[in-house]
Amino acid sequence: MSARRRLRTRYPRAVQAVAREGGAIESAAAAEPSAAVTIPIEVEPAPAEAGEIPVGQAGEPAATVEPARPPRRRVRAAVTIAGFALLAFVTGMFVFNSLVMPRLIHGVGSEVTVPDLGNLTLAQAERTLRPLGLQLSRAGERFDPSVPRGFVLSQDPEAGIAVRGRKRVSVMVSLGEEFSSVPELSGESVRSARLLIGRAGLRPGTVVHAPSDEAGEGLVIGSDPGPEAVLQRDTPVHLLVSTGPGEESFVMPDLIGREITGVRRQLDALGLRVEMPPAAPAVGTIVSQEPPAGSRITRETVIRLLAAGRMIR
């Protein structure tokens, strides 16, 4: 498109006005030929629209100028700088909260010396720490026969250490001397009974063997002290162990004044051994017996009887 046509397209009113003025000038020139004056009109080329190729002086297309774009390296550099700045900010906040703030907080206040809380109850220890701005913390409990129950056994920090701020003092409380209860041991083997005694905090004592019809051989009949007895820790517990059923025994009855013939018949039926002195009467009332009445006898025990030779009434 020529420069004149572009001018007419972009500025139609201006072109029409110039045309009218030119026509008037030409009419005047025609009327007065001697005074004809030509007024040159310089028309500047309109700026090229998007998509058009501007024309040079020689009719050749001018060089195309593209809009400048920011290089990618600058964008990457800006992102990297922003990332480093964020990382530095987070690191600074962490250091400030972890190191600086605790020092500022704990540095407030004067130093105090931790007092000795030994031989004090929990209530007494708390009253001792309160005026110093210290707090009491119960760390736990432990048996100790040397310190009464409920008293402070140990403390952390120890007595005499200087601390700053509202420091906590942890204490271990004594449970006093430990006591244990004797477990039920009847019917247990000796090995099992010793294990139960040890788990209860007690110590196995001596072992005594005796016949028994209540428990089999090698089993515990009883203990000394007996079951559920409360003892101090490490107290010995003695065991009575069965050797099995013992020999059958009887209690010697009182035979004085009874007729010897009937008594011998009854004793023989029980399998007991009866003897009489030589040349002693075989009839009559019994006037002497050995063992005496109430004694415990077995089938191997010899019973000696003496009769008067006549019935005594």
Domain assignment present for residue 83? The answer is: no
Domain assignment present for residue 101? The answer is: no
pLDDT beyond 70 at 90: yes
φ, ψ at 172 (rounded to 5°): -105, 130
Query: Which pLDDT value is given to residue 204?
Result: 93
Query: Which pLDDT value is given to residue 71?
Result: 66
Query: Which pLDDT value is given to residue 1?
Result: 52
pLDDT beyond 70 at 52: no
Give the residue-averaged pLDDT of 293-306: 87
CATH number, residue 213: 3.30.10.20
Same domain, 165 and 213: no
pLDDT beyond 70 at 298: yes
Measured CA angle at 162 (ends 159, 167), to 5 deg: 85
Chain segment 64-80, per-residue pLDDT in tens: 545 555 567 787 888 88
Domain assignment present for residue 53? The answer is: no
Same domain, 193 and 211: yes
φ, ψ at 73 (rounded to 5°): -60, -40
pLDDT beyond 70 at 200: yes
CA quadruple 15, 21, 23, 25: dihedral sign: negative
Give the residue-averaged pLDDT of 254-269: 88
Same domain, 198 and 219: yes
Same domain, 170 and 185: no
Same domain, 158 and 118: yes
Same domain, 222 and 269: no
- Domain limit, last residue, from 242, 269, 286: 242
Confidence of residue 300 (pLDDT cuts 50, 70, 90): confident
Domain assignment present for residue 100? The answer is: no
Domain assignment present for residue 188? The answer is: yes
Neighbours of 43 (CB within 10 A): 14
Same domain, 270 and 216: no
Percent of all residues in the chain with a pLDDT value above 90, rounded to a whole number? 12
DSSP 246: -
DSSP 4: H
Give the residue-averaged pLDDT of 116-128: 87
Count of the separate structural domains present in the chain: 4
Same domain, 120 and 165: yes
Confidence of residue 214 (pLDDT cuts 50, 70, 90): confident
- Domain limit, last residue, from 174, 189, 206: 174
Same domain, 189 and 162: no
Domain assignment present for residue 21? The answer is: yes
What's this model's pTM, rounded to 2 decimal places? 0.36
More confident: 97 or 19: 97
Domain of 8, in residue numbers: 3-35
- Domain limit, last residue, from 214, 242, 270: 242
Query: Which pLDDT value is given to residue 113?
Result: 87
Domain assignment present for residue 78? The answer is: no
Domain assignment present for residue 103? The answer is: no
Same domain, 221 and 234: yes
Same domain, 115 and 170: yes
Same domain, 187 and 160: no
Helices (H) and strands (E) in the chain, counts: 7, 15
